[in-house]
Amino acid sequence: MTTRDQGSLHESLACLYLQEQGLTLLTSNHHSRFGEIDLIMKDGETIVFVEVRYRRNASFGGAALSITPAKQRKITLTALHYLQQKRKNNEPCRFDVFAVTGQKNNSAPLWIKNAFDASL
């Protein structure tokens, strides 16, 4: 399985898990010139920008720690692009991380709500 296939699989699993928790999918893989957001969902009235991360092991800190400040900035700029494009500038938003570290039966998802702020 390629890295891209692994990413798509974990994004699909994350989406299903979050839908089971009551979130609604608005779109996936939203691209802008700044970057990409894996999942854009709705939690009540809040728009949720979800970054899905997978790491086979925790050797370098695991999936959750792999979201650098530079990556956070790209996600934030892409989120602003989405909000402007959809004219949803007045709706509350948050940035979540859905992290999976480990392989098959040895992995457990970690859903981090409000994982980071939209600071530029």
Q: What is the mean pLDDT of residues 1-18?
A: 80
* Mean per-residue pLDDT of the chain: 84
Distance CA(32)–CA(9), nearest Å, equals 22
Q: What is the pLDDT of residue 63?
A: 58
What are the tens digits of pLDDT across the range 29-61?
Answer: 999 999 999 999 999 999 999 999 876 655 555
pLDDT: which is higher, 93 or 120? 93
Q: What is the mean pLDDT of residues 10-20?
A: 91
Domains in the chain, CATH or no CATH each: 3-62+70-116 (3.40.1350.10)
Order of strands, sheet of 46-55, starting from the edge strand that comes earlier in the sequence: 24-32, 35-43, 46-55, 93-101, 108-116
* Strands annotated E in 1-120: 24-32, 35-43, 46-55, 93-101, 108-116
Q: Which of 20-24, 83-87, 116-120 has the highest mean pLDDT?
A: 20-24
The fraction of the chain above a pLDDT of 90, given in percent, is: 51
Q: What is the pLDDT of residue 54?
A: 74
Q: What is the pLDDT of residue 73?
A: 92
Q: Give SS3 for 26.
A: strand
